[in-house]
Homo-oligomer: A and B are copies of this chain.
Amino acid sequence: MAANDTPYVGLLLIADGLGDRPVPELGGRTPLEAADTPTLDRLAREGECGLLDPIAPGVRGGSDTGHLSLLGYDPYQVYPGRGPFEAMGIGLEVHPGDVAFRCNFATVDDAMAIVLDRRAGRSDFGTRALAEAVDGVQFEDVVCRFKESTVHRAALVLHGPGLGDRVTDPDPHSDGLPLVPAAAKDPADAASAKTARVLNAFLRLTFERWQHHPVNEERRARGIPPANLALPRGPGRSPHLGTFAQRWGFTAACIVEVGLLKGLGRYLGMEVIDVPGATAGLDTDTEAIGRAVVAAAARHRFVLCNVKGPDVAGHDGNPHGKVAILERIDRMAQQIVAALGRRLILCVTGDHTTACSFRDHTGEPCPILFWGETVRPDGVTQFGERPCAGGAVGRIRGTDVLRIMTSYMNAQEKFGA
């Protein structure tokens, strides 16, 4: 059977930040262990379970590195740093070969020499108008896309041929220090020298257009430091990953709630589907997300679905909120399984652990289950961190997941004869 003749549709359902540590107020159980999840428990009973290290054992990963790994890309080889993903996350288009920077709106003195306040008073007053005043300018054959993010933050994408990312930071990383023009770290690196030239020209332009911009006159009048310079750091050159379809042999839909993952989906050529009511919070409309998954399964052989709520609850140190959103994901799983039936090859797991007690990501593995008519059931009867540890899947890594799913989908090319 050729890979594209599979009768199955694969669904990788990520409960963002799924894993957790024992929670005293839940009697030492994790939120997933404490949650009432009859469908996930049934799927565990009918499927097979294990533990997933999204990157590698003990590694504290991010949502970006975790999803890269889960989609089959080794983040140690392809992760370009946060720049490109932050840019994707706020809705900037990023193409392979682009060099992206995290930026601050900053305050420099009138000579554009000394960085007075790297965060321009941490005020977002007028930043959208300032961004629009410079977005899209071109130097040489490079287009500069610039967009504001939250508070004093922004992102810059340099789009054009022959750019390198081995450039020094203009950001002095402390207030009161001189602005340092960007330079190629290696003078012989022509691609990075080009990036530095364009970057320095762009910085000069932001100063020229912002220094006396009405937004800044108003900021000064209100006692807010003017945002008269874009201060970039952390360059990253976007890797040539190819599309999901090129890698796996079939197209995919991407139903996710946050910009970072929508950007990743677009970057990999997935159909990114916006779901009204998907808020990325604990109040998100999981039923609407479930309907979107079922609809997408009619057009694609693969669907990536991420529900952000469990991670939000973890960062908030809110185990009861995490329990509640996991119970709603359980009902969503029931809805999807009922609709797709035996066509479905399902994997449910997390992209990392977000421990309520630590309020941030930690390096412990996530539970994982595979379910579908081609899956060998093991003896696990509950979907939870500790029950899954005894499952037949054992302890696997993120980069294993798509291979396992495509094998169950009978949709993987043979390696060898």
Using a CB–CB cutoff of 8 Å, the interface residues on chain A facing chain B are 1, 21-22, 28, 30, 51, 55-66, 75, 79, 82, 85-86, 260, 355, 357-358, 360-364, 374-379, 385-386, 389-397, 400-408, 410, 412-417
Residues of chain B within 8 A of A362, CB atoms compared: 374, 407-408, 410
In the complex, how many angstroms separate the beta carbon of A323 from the nearest chain B beta carbon? Answer: 16
User: Given that A57-B396, A400-B57 are contacting pairs, would A65 and B407 also be in contact in the complex, using a CB cutoff of 8 Å?
Assistant: no
Residues of chain B within 8 A of A61, CB atoms compared: 414-416
Residues of chain B within 8 A of A417, CB atoms compared: 62-64, 82, 85-86, 260
Q: Tell whether, in the assembled complex, residue B389 and residue A392 are in contact, meaning their CB atoms are under 8 Å apart.
A: yes
Q: What's the Cα separation between A408 and B377 when bound, in Å?
A: 32
Q: What's the Cα separation between A172 and B18 when bound, in Å?
A: 51
Q: What's the Cα separation between A364 and B379 when bound, in Å?
A: 17
In the complex, how many angstroms separate the beta carbon of A63 from the nearest chain B beta carbon? Answer: 7
| Contact sample, A vs B, 15 pairs, CB 8 Å cutoff | A57-B400, A59-B412, A61-B416, A62-B414, A62-B416, A64-B417, A75-B415, A75-B416, A357-B374, A358-B410, A361-B414, A363-B412, A364-B407, A386-B392, A394-B394
Residues of chain B within 8 A of A408, CB atoms compared: 362-364
Q: Tell whether, in the assembled complex, residue A60 and residue B363 are in contact, meaning their CB atoms are under 8 Å apart.
A: no
Q: What's the Cα separation between A56 and B401 when bound, in Å?
A: 11
Q: What's the Cα separation between A414 and B56 when bound, in Å?
A: 13
User: Given that A22-B377, A378-B386 are contacting pairs, would A404 and B58 also be in contact in the complex, using a CB cutoff of 8 Å?
Assistant: yes
User: Given that A415-B61, A416-B63 are contacting pairs, would A386 and B394 also be in contact in the complex, using a CB cutoff of 8 Å?
Assistant: no
Which partner residue on chain B sits nearest A389 by CB separation? B392
Residues of chain B within 8 A of A57, CB atoms compared: 396-397, 400, 403-404
User: Given that A62-B415, A376-B22, A378-B386 are contacting pairs, would A363 and B395 also be in contact in the complex, using a CB cutoff of 8 Å?
Assistant: no
Q: Tell whether, in the assembled complex, residue B62 and residue A363 are in contact, meaning their CB atoms are under 8 Å apart.
A: no
Q: What's the Cα separation between A355 and B397 when bound, in Å?
A: 24
Which of A57, A400, A401, A410 has the most chain B CB atoms inside 10 A of its CB? A57
Q: What's the Cα separation between A391 and B397 when bound, in Å?
A: 18
Q: What's the Cα separation between A51 and B395 when bound, in Å?
A: 11
Q: What's the Cα separation between A65 and B361 when bound, in Å?
A: 31
Q: What's the Cα separation between A386 and B62 when bound, in Å?
A: 33
User: Given that A58-B403, A403-B363 are contacting pairs, would A51 and B416 also be in contact in the complex, using a CB cutoff of 8 Å?
Assistant: no
User: Given that A392-B386, A395-B395, A407-B58 are contacting pairs, would A64 and B416 also be in contact in the complex, using a CB cutoff of 8 Å?
Assistant: yes
Q: Tell whether, in the assembled complex, residue A400 and residue B58 are in contact, meaning their CB atoms are under 8 Å apart.
A: yes
Q: What's the Cα separation between A75 and B413 when bound, in Å?
A: 15
In the complex, how many angstroms separate the beta carbon of A264 from the nearest chain B beta carbon? Answer: 11
Q: What's the Cα separation between A385 and B377 when bound, in Å?
A: 10
Q: Tell whether, in the assembled complex, residue B65 and residue A363 are in contact, meaning their CB atoms are under 8 Å apart.
A: no
Q: What's the Cα separation between A59 and B415 when bound, in Å?
A: 8
Q: Tell whether, in the assembled complex, residue B386 and residue A389 are in contact, meaning their CB atoms are under 8 Å apart.
A: no
Q: Tell whether, in the assembled complex, residue B405 and residue A66 are in contact, meaning their CB atoms are under 8 Å apart.
A: no
Q: Tell whether, in the assembled complex, residue B59 and residue A403 are in contact, meaning their CB atoms are under 8 Å apart.
A: yes
In the complex, how many angstroms separate the beta carbon of A65 from the nearest chain B beta carbon? Answer: 3
Residues of chain B within 8 A of A415, CB atoms compared: 55, 59-62, 65, 75, 79
In the complex, how many angstroms separate the beta carbon of A375 from the nearest chain B beta carbon? Answer: 8
Q: Tell whether, in the assembled complex, residue A360 and residue B404 are in contact, meaning their CB atoms are under 8 Å apart.
A: no
Q: What's the Cα separation between A374 and B357 when bound, in Å?
A: 9
- Picked from B82, B385, B416, the residue with its CB within 8 Å of the CB of A66 is B416
Q: What's the Cα separation between A91 and B175 when bound, in Å?
A: 48
